[in-house]
Amino acid sequence: MKLGILKTDAVLPKWVPEFGEYPDMFVALLGRIDPDLEFAVYDVEEGEYPAEIDEVDAYLITGSKSSVYEDKPWIHRLIEFVRELDARKKKIVGICFGHQLVAQALGGLTEKSPKGWGVGLHTHEFDSSPDWHDGGSAAFKVLVSHQDQVVRNAEGGQTLAGSEFCENAVVQVGDHILTFQGHPEFLPAYSREIMDYRREMIGESTYEKGQASLAVDPEGERIGCWILSFLKDA
């Protein structure tokens, strides 16, 4: 299987030597689970797109510091591309910004949450187990970094998992779209760096709770297995 990664942001240059760019994080995570995976990266923030949609078998949209409702030409173009993928029933996985953009593109709504920032390790819980789920615990721990939230799902979207802080944390649309608010690709060290960088913006109380939460390991690989199970299910 060949996965097209739609890159929607750049990692701060000082962090790249240790953590890589966002597509590198997904290649590391998913490539560990399935070494036979192939990847293609398209920097959509810079206008890069596949010449043909079927160049790859499925697409993954990364996180971004941008908000999906911002009036930026590259975001408008990506929204149109997601609509085209949806019309073709091409498989899509959306992560954080990607999760929110899919909702925005397909009749849903993303807004800045009055609950403030979600940072560090959060626990989300499934209401039921979809076919691609491993059948284990309904609760899972994932690193998050967001202030925007999906407040109305895409048309036909079903909320599969959430929390008191983030009700729409995992959403599926039909058999071809799966989105996560959390970041399975993040390492705790990267989450720590982001919180340090945004400390004043996040607020001291939220910052301290977020840093303390990193004492527990995230379940990124478990989520990665779900993603691949979903993508490979015909």
List Cβ neighbours of 190 (8 Å cut-off, separation of 6 or more): 15, 19, 25
Active-site position among 45, 185, 219, 225? 185
| Cα radius of gyration (the chain) | 16
184 by DSSP, 3-state: which? coil
Please give the C-alpha separations between residue 3 and each of 12, 62, 233, in angstroms, as whole numbers: 24, 12, 14
Please give the C-alpha separations between residue 178 and each of 51, 81, 125, 225, 231, in angstroms, as whole numbers: 24, 16, 16, 13, 9
Active-site position among 96, 122, 133, 166? 96
Identify whether 225 is a catalytic site residue.
no
Active-site position among 122, 133, 146, 183? 183
- Contact call for residues 126 and 133 (beta carbons, < 8 A): yes
Q: Which residues are identified as catalytic? A: 96, 183, 185
